Structure 1
Amino acid sequence: MSDRQVSHEPRDDALAALLGPWLPHRRWFPAKGTDARVSALGGTSLADPQAEADVRVLLLRVESGSGESVLQVPLTLRPAVDSPDAPDDPALLVGTLPDGTRVRDGAGDPAFLRAWLADAESDPDSPVRSDQLGDPRVISGEQSNTSVILPGAGPGGRTAMLKVFRGLSAGENPDVDVPRALARVGWEHVPRPLAWMSARWPDRQGVVHGHLEVLSAFVPGAQDGFELACEVAGRGESFADLSRELGEVIAQMHVALAKALPVDDDDATRDPDPTDAPTHSRAHSPAHPDPSDPTGVGPGTTVRDPELDAEVPEHGSAAEHGSPAAHDLARSLTERYAWAAGIVPQLAEYREAVHSLADRVRILTGLPDRQRVHGDLHLGQVLRGDDTWYVLDFEGEPLRPMSERTRPDQPLRDAAGMLRSFDYAAAVGSAPDAWTRVAREAFWAGYTAESSVLDPALAAVLLRTLELDKALYEAVYEARNRPDWLPIPLHGIERLLA
């Protein structure tokens, strides 16, 4: 892989100063509401084939009370007087430097997009084109990254989609490598990566490598999964058939991931190292997606699947202490609850029930081996097009370190995230609990039809635990950001612990 080198130029500091008041208004800025310090790490320059603007991909260090992060802001720079065919776009304009240079956010600017297409590393079997670029369209509403639809940029002049990773992490970005690996094993439910760009930049410990952007195939006419579910719920129609198909695709995804990205036996079975395992009280948790935003919604409350009342399998005396994986899962649940209950007072009444469930989990044996998973799966991460489902955004939780995002996990964590999405769709669509229940049951039926590894009773307890873990996180987010939505996860918690 050919990395671009990041270096510091004098103008980078002036650009960082100009971006200072602009950044807090971006949805992807990680330090909203804090006294953040923004400085320029440096950047890399690209050449616009039409020489319409200077293109500078600027990397910024953002330091705040919640930690430190590295952001990417592609910029285009034009002289004080623009040519008539390149007027300022208020949606793109960042500001003006002291010398009159006008600075734009490059993500939606054709000058940056042409330059990127000309310099990116592409799949040799699917060359991309910078000379056929049509009018780009930035997708609104995203929280962590910026995606742009690029007509004419794909092979044969087809439409493609560019994702600009706003928050950068050292290491191979799974949203580049995982779809490439899945495509190699023939799994067709992921848009194929066509081109990508990576760079090396200075870090506190030295120089690190990571991805900047990825260009993927575009699915014409595809609809966002959450938007579709909200519309169906709003019409009072059943989502069962679509949900069952989705469950089948997610189960097939887990089979394909295990084949495409196998993990060694130690990683699959051992308990995570407690010295580097994430705790729920740390500040790396990303902002939860907005349920009113169809491009980035998170999962919601739950209606229990019929199998969730199944009894825990009997364990003899030799197994009464459970496996290390079960202990880890139980500990994770109680830690999540302690963190959430300290923030949301309404959760105090559930302490006994949560610890009772954790006790049941702690004695489990036979948990499935960990494997590569999606890591942040919900209805906003899937598309419906060509009469099938496509899965997107394998990046995981963007504010987590890359080593955590790629860590093997229980595949049912993905299923739990998707199941919990249905109630948010029902809330937006004003559908009754019955709509959610039918959608959940259909998804689980589709998933289990393609994945018969787990004992049903074991799966029931494991799924309940993972859903509860998610609902507790949601309760904290809603309490902090949208108190009117807090009843949704609280209702889910009550149902899961009944």
Structure 2
Amino acid sequence: MSEAATRPSADPGALLASLDPLLRGWLPRQRWFAGKGRPVAGFDLVAATELLPPGAEQGLLHLLIRVRQPLPGSAPTADHELPADCYQLLLGIRTELPPRLAPALIGHVTGGALAGRTVYEALYDPRLAALLLERLRLPGRLGVLRFLRARGAGGGQDSPGSPDGPGSLDSRGSAGAPAAGNAHGIDIPPGLVPRALGVEQSNSSLVYGDTFILKLFRRVVPGVNPDLELPLALAAQGCRRVPPPAAWLTADGADEPLVLGVLQPYVAGAKDGWELALQSLAKGTDFSAEARALGRATAEVHAALAAALPTVTLGRAQVELLARGMTERLRAAVRAVPALRPYAPALRTAYDALADLAAEGETQLMAQRVHGDLHLGQCLRAPSGTWSLIDFEGEPARPLAERRMPQPPARDVAGMLRSFDYAARSNHPWTPEWADTCRAAYCSGYADVSGRDPRTSPVLLRAHETDKAVYEAVYEARHRPDWLPVPLAALDRLATGSTREEATDPGTDAPL
């Protein structure tokens, strides 16, 4: 490890002490910070790496920090803290911040080695963002960080692959298969101009020259991130519905690496399904052809994942366990969102029906790796009209081990069905027929490729759609309270069996 890589962490206490007051104010305002609503009890430094030593002009500091927060309603002491979340930060360092970078300001350091310097979000600085891509172009190690490429890529990683199969990762996060359709990997030219995407979700993204997109994971956990693992597996299968990873960034962990970022081809000129759906609703045009094409794309990805990674058959015990997990999530959701309480008994019948099918020996479900959080915003239509699926991370709030478990493909299907409903309800006046037509077209498109229409398993589909709507209710209550009526209306319909035309806004007598 070089001196440049180790110098910031030589005195972690002093570094954290100098940054502590700045991060306490800045972190809770970030869209990707998971601990909103709870005070910060303190920070622990996991690793500090200087990607660019802070000279007279500027520097780039990569931090992995754990954020300690107390349990809700408890005193801020070590005995009453939640497990600390680990976050990836990229801090730019300057003596003076130019006006164009003013929105990226984190604060001014008053003590420690960085005293007198200004700290800011580095991703908005083109020079520092370009440095990240240059590191990825030339694989290697810097401190705890590893910059990796698919084997066969120019200047790339040629370590042996995992024995788990093609497209999987070894214990260091290295790829055992080249990118799809290119035995020499994906070329990454120098000098691509970076720009940060303005939309912040649970991660941050940089686009380079409309050629590549780098997704940086903000909240990181040890182990293989599905957003790297699954696209690699699909690339090895030659599936062109998902952009193949060109390079990625990891950090050494105590037992397993932490996946920090993935670089993939950028679909220039593409529009996501949510944007296209809203345009269709605003114009009053038919969206069923696009919905059917999305169904076909989903089925193709499912088929490729089933070919690339192990599948399992869920017997009675496993199906009952699946239903029990849904029931437990409902109970937790009711505690978090009291508005769900009137619907809970009826919603539970969806899960009971799934368990009853297993008990009667009437079903054996196939489970496989799936997208895990599929909705219109995770689908891109290229100018050519081809649909791609992106963002295979799954629901970030769920544990990594759970996100990597095989699931019935109906989980993804249910997510898309819910997304069509979301789009329809965002339009005024509400157009339920639009959602119904899209849902039917999507299932038909899925059947075109898979040979099986998801609607032929109504009990399974209802259970997954209910589970998804329960998740949505918790998410909206925490992050977007104004949207809470959307999943609540769906849960009202799923609980009562009412038709869409009869559905009302929960808590009122007015139709939605």
Q: Where on the TM-score scale, by shorter chain, does this alignment land: which range?
A: 0.7 to 0.9
1:378 maps to 375
Larger displacement relative to structure 2 (168-177 or 118-127): 118-127
1:219 maps to 267
Shift of 1:425: 1.1
2:124 maps to 108
1:425 maps to 423
2:504 maps to none
1:243 maps to 291
- The alpha-carbon distance between structure 1 residues 73 and 344, as it changes in their structure 2 partners (threshold 3 A), is closer
- The alpha-carbon distance between structure 1 residues 194 and 137, as it changes in their structure 2 partners (threshold 3 A), is same
Kindly indicate whether residue 313 of structure 2 is the aligned counterpart of residue 269 of structure 1.
yes
Shift of 1:427: 2.1
- 1:434-473 matches, within 5 Å, as 434-453=433-452, 457=456, 459-473=457-471
| Distance in 1, Cα, partners of 2:394 & 2:105 | 30
- The alpha-carbon distance between structure 1 residues 5 and 486, as it changes in their structure 2 partners (threshold 3 A), is same
Write the letter of the residue equivalent to 1:182: L
- 1:77-476 matches, within 5 Å, as 77-78=93-94, 80-81=95-96, 89-98=101-110, 99-120=115-136, 121-123=148-150, 124=153, 125-130=185-190, 132-134=191-193, 136-151=194-209, 159-201=211-253, 206=254, 208-263=256-311, 268-269=312-313, 323-364=316-357, 365-385=362-382, 386-430=384-428, 431-453=430-452, 457=456, 459-476=457-474
Indicate the SS of the match to 1:197: strand
| Distance in 2, Cα, partners of 1:173 & 1:478 | 25
1:32 maps to 36
- How large is the RMSD of aligned CA atoms in angstroms? 2.6
Q: Is the 8 A contact 2:313 2:364 kept in 1?
A: no
- The alpha-carbon distance between structure 1 residues 159 and 455, as it changes in their structure 2 partners (threshold 3 A), is closer
Shift of 1:348: 3.9
Write the letter of the residue equivalent to 1:148: L
Indicate the SS of the match to 2:25: coil
- The alpha-carbon distance between structure 1 residues 138 and 463, as it changes in their structure 2 partners (threshold 3 A), is same
Write the letter of the residue equivalent to 2:388: Y
Shift of 1:352: 4.3
Shift of 1:38: 3.9
| Distance in 2, Cα, partners of 1:380 & 1:342 | 29
Q: 2:65 aligns with which of 54, 60, 63?
A: 60
Q: Is the 8 A contact 2:379 2:389 kept in 1?
A: yes
Indicate the SS of the match to 2:347: helix
- The alpha-carbon distance between structure 1 residues 45 and 484, as it changes in their structure 2 partners (threshold 3 A), is closer
Indicate the SS of the match to 2:418: helix
Q: Is the 8 A contact 1:93 1:105 kept in 2?
A: yes
| Distance in 1, Cα, partners of 2:287 & 2:368 | 29
Q: Is the 8 A contact 1:48 1:111 kept in 2?
A: no
| Distance in 2, Cα, partners of 1:207 & 1:90 | 39
| Distance in 2, Cα, partners of 1:451 & 1:51 | 60
- The alpha-carbon distance between structure 1 residues 179 and 426, as it changes in their structure 2 partners (threshold 3 A), is same
Shift of 1:452: 2.6
| Distance in 2, Cα, partners of 1:114 & 1:102 | 20
Indicate the SS of the match to 1:70: strand
- The alpha-carbon distance between structure 1 residues 443 and 422, as it changes in their structure 2 partners (threshold 3 A), is same
CA deviation digits over 1:217-254, x for unaligned, max 9? 01110012111111111221121010000011001110
Give the unaligned 5+ runs of structure 1.
Answer: 152-157, 272-322
- The alpha-carbon distance between structure 1 residues 101 and 351, as it changes in their structure 2 partners (threshold 3 A), is closer
| Distance in 2, Cα, partners of 1:235 & 1:48 | 53
- With the length of structure 1 as denominator, give the TM-score of the two structures: 0.78
| Distance in 2, Cα, partners of 1:197 & 1:355 | 42
Q: Is the 8 A contact 1:247 1:445 kept in 2?
A: yes
- The alpha-carbon distance between structure 1 residues 9 and 17, as it changes in their structure 2 partners (threshold 3 A), is farther
Q: Is the 8 A contact 2:54 2:93 kept in 1?
A: no
- The alpha-carbon distance between structure 1 residues 168 and 428, as it changes in their structure 2 partners (threshold 3 A), is same
CA deviation digits over 1:235-280, x for unaligned, max 9? 21121010000011001110011112224xxxx2357xxxxxxxxx
Instruction: Indicate the percent of aligned positions where both proteins have the same amino acid.
Output: 40
- The alpha-carbon distance between structure 1 residues 367 and 107, as it changes in their structure 2 partners (threshold 3 A), is farther
Write the letter of the residue equivalent to 1:126: I
| Distance in 2, Cα, partners of 1:75 & 1:480 | 28
Shift of 1:325: 2.7
CA deviation digits over 1:395-442, x for unaligned, max 9? 112233322221111111011011101121112232411111111111
1:42 maps to 47
Shift of 1:81: 4.5
- The alpha-carbon distance between structure 1 residues 53 and 351, as it changes in their structure 2 partners (threshold 3 A), is closer
Write the letter of the residue equivalent to 1:437: D
Larger displacement relative to structure 2 (377-386 or 244-253): 377-386
Report the count of equivalent residues. Answer: 423
- The alpha-carbon distance between structure 1 residues 127 and 15, as it changes in their structure 2 partners (threshold 3 A), is farther
Shift of 1:8: 2.2
Shift of 1:468: 0.7
The higher relative CO (CA closer than 8 Å, separation ≥ 6) is in: 1
| Distance in 2, Cα, partners of 1:450 & 1:403 | 29
Q: Is the 8 A contact 1:372 1:406 kept in 2?
A: yes
Q: Is the 8 A contact 1:416 1:463 kept in 2?
A: yes
| Distance in 2, Cα, partners of 1:51 & 1:443 | 57
CA deviation digits over 1:149-186, x for unaligned, max 9? 111xxxxxx62111111011101222112112211211
| Distance in 2, Cα, partners of 1:402 & 1:140 | 27
